[in-house]
């Protein structure tokens, strides 16, 4: 960020609170000022002394602090910051936020603020999946809170794994700076536009418990949906099975198979822009077994007869009254990236192809960064490595420019 911002960091009571020390350091390195509010539970994981040493500010903890509240400190805190970040946001803190409680300094500030709020959940996977937490998160999203994470991985409890980890600091910083950019572009360049985005893998069933799939995490597609929504678009995100938190302000359609994705895309039309970022399985089993295929020494390995899945990008890009004005496909390749992508642009009749190298050494599949090439009729534009959030933002801004240019040319 080129301009310094005032950030109020509310630290909740979870083991992931230790990451806030690195977060504060990195934010200050980028020129931002940080003040911190700690919940009572947060004191069990990090100390006000260590937090204060990094913020170079007094750490606030008490709603009834005599010195601060003489000037109604919680109201001043709510108004004097450009952005409020809640990390880690525990299940209890999320519940109190969603319920509009104000029984401590953290929740009183959150209830009093009119500034943007970024919330980073962290809790046990069972707590994250609990229907009460899901309801509370949905309410906060409806209230306009920007939610980042949780990440999927090993938990502090031995043997526990799943969605519930606090996202890593670089991803959190990207979300914070993305919130500033979203505020600057509210009512932005895609206002009044409808954008369809496909994301994630598809699961093609073999029998009741097995399926064909790929390693797509869906992160790039979800970041595209977030960026389009921040630029003012109405967004329909059609996603295969993924473990990601839902972007705020986006209509989500969850599917499993390629056939279901095609029908969902057709149902979502018409659209101004369609971005096909999903890693759709090329093949499916011709006959799905109704019972689990049993291993047998007599018959050996089963033979699977495969048939081709529908080519969603090619079908939607065909000329016709419902063809989106801008059709963007993705080409995930492991060799000859540009050659394959340029061929795909022609064969699919897409307007643009976003090509990237997804070989294991690239770290793109499931990673936070991406290195892409934008293939158009005019040629190839290679972008430097950047976060998937920044790739998404740049691509959607370019798409908005293209729509504007087409409208101007038509006039």
Residue range 192-219, pLDDT digits in tens? 899 999 999 999 999 999 999 988 999 9
Q: Which residues contact 60 (CB under 8 A, 6 or more apart)?
A: 35, 36, 37, 38, 68, 73, 77, 105
* Rounded Cα gap, residues 286 and 305, in angstroms: 6
| Full DSSP string of 26-49 | HHHHTT-EEEEEE-TGGGGTS-HH
Q: Is 273 exposed, middle or buried (0-12, 13-18, 19+ CB in 10 A)?
A: buried
- Residue 238 lies inside a defined structural domain of this protein: yes
CATH number of the domain within which 285 lies: 3.40.50.10300
Specify whether 214 is located in the same domain as 155: no
pLDDT at 411 over 70: no
Specify whether 163 is located in the same domain as 214: no
Question: How far apart, in Å, are the Cα atoms of 148 and each of 28, 46, 364?
Answer: 20, 22, 19
* Strand spans (E) along 268-409: 273-276, 283-285, 306-308, 326-333, 352-357, 369-370, 372-376, 379-382, 386-387
Residues annotated catalytic, as ranges: 214
Is 180 part of any known ligand binding site? no
CATH number of the domain within which 54 lies: 3.40.50.1950
- Residue 1 lies inside a defined structural domain of this protein: no
Is 330 part of any known ligand binding site? yes
Is 282 part of any known ligand binding site? yes
Contact 37, 61 (CB under 8 A): yes
Question: 88: domain range?
Answer: 6-184
- Residue 189 lies inside a defined structural domain of this protein: no
Specify whether 206 is located in the same domain as 351: yes
Give the tens place of pLDDT for each residue, 216-271.
Answer: 999 999 999 999 988 888 899 999 999 887 787 788 999 999 999 999 999 999 99
Tell me what percent of the residues of the chain surpass a pLDDT of 90. Answer: 56
Specify whether 51 is located in the same domain as 128: yes
Which among 403, 18, 391, 404 has a CA at the least distance from the CA of 221? 391
What is the per-residue pLDDT for 72? 46
Is 344 part of any known ligand binding site? yes
What is the per-residue pLDDT for 285? 95
Encoded tokens for 58: 């007094």
Residue 187 pLDDT class (50, 70, 90 cuts): very low
Is 5 part of any known ligand binding site? no
**DSSP 8-state class, residue 60:** B
Give the tens place of pLDDT for each residue, 21-76.
Answer: 999 999 999 889 999 999 999 999 999 999 999 999 888 888 766 555 444 456 77
Is 312 part of any known ligand binding site? yes
Specify whether 160 is located in the same domain as 39: yes
Specify whether 284 is located in the same domain as 228: yes
Specify whether 180 is located in the same domain as 198: no
Specify whether 166 is located in the same domain as 199: no
* Rounded Cα gap, residues 173 and 192, in angstroms: 29
Into how many domains does the chain fold?
A: 2
Residue 159 pLDDT class (50, 70, 90 cuts): low
* Strand spans (E) along 143-224: 146-147, 151-154, 161-165, 194-199, 204-205, 211-212
Specify whether 136 is located in the same domain as 198: no
Is 311 part of any known ligand binding site? yes
Specify whether 116 is located in the same domain as 206: no
What is the per-residue pLDDT for 157? 64
């Amino acid at each position: 960020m080129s301009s310094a911002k005032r950030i109020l960091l509310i630290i909740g009571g979870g083991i992931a609170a230790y990451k806030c020390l690195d977060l504060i350091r990195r934010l200050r390195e980028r020129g931002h000022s940080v003040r911190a509010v700690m919940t009572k539970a947060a004191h069990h994981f990090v100390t006000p002394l260590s937090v204060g040493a990094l913020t170079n500010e007094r750490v606030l903890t008490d709603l009834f602090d005599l010195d601060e509240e003489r000037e109604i400190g919680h109201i001043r805190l709510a108004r004097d910051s450009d952005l409020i970040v809640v990390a880690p946001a525990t299940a209890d803190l999320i519940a109190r936020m969603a319920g509009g409680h104000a029984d401590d300094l953290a929740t009183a500030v959150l209830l009093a603020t009119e500034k943007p709020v970024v919330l980073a959940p962290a809790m046990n996977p069972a707590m994250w999946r609990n229907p009460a937490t899901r309801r509370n998160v949905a309410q906060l999203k409806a209230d306009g809170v920007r939610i980042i994470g949780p990440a999927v991985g090993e938990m502090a409890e031995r043997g526990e794994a799943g969605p519930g980890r606090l996202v890593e600091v670089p991803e959190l910083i990207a979300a914070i700076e993305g919130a500033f950019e979203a505020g600057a572009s509210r009512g932005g360049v895609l206002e009044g536009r409808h954008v369809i985005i496909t994301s994630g893998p598809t699961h093609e069933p073999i029998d009741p418990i097995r399926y064909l799939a790929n390693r797509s995490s869906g992160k790039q597609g979800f970041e595209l949906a977030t960026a389009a929504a921040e630029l003012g678009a109405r967004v329909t995100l059609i996603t295969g099975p993924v473990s990601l938190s839902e972007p705020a302000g986006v209509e989500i359609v969850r599917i499993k198979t390629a056939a279901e994705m095609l029908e969902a895309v057709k149902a979502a039309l018409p659209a101004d822009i369609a971005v096909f970022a999903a890693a759709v399985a090329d093949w499916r089993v011709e006959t799905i077994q109704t019972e689990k295929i049993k291993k047998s020494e007599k018959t050996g390995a089963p033979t699977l007869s495969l048939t081709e899945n529908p080519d969603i990008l090619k079908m939607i890009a065909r000329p016709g009254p419902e063809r989106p004005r801008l059709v963007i496909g993705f080409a995930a390749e492991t060799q000859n990236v540009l050659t394959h992508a340029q061929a795909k642009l022609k064969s699919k009749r897409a307007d643009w192809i976003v090509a990237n190298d997804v070989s294991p050494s690239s770290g793109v599949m499931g990673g936070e960064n991406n290195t892409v090439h934008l293939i158009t009729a005019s040629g190839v534009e290679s972008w430097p490595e950047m976060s998937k959030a920044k790739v998404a933002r740049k691509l959607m801004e370019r798409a908005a420019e293209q729509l504007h240019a087409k409208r101007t040319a038509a006039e």
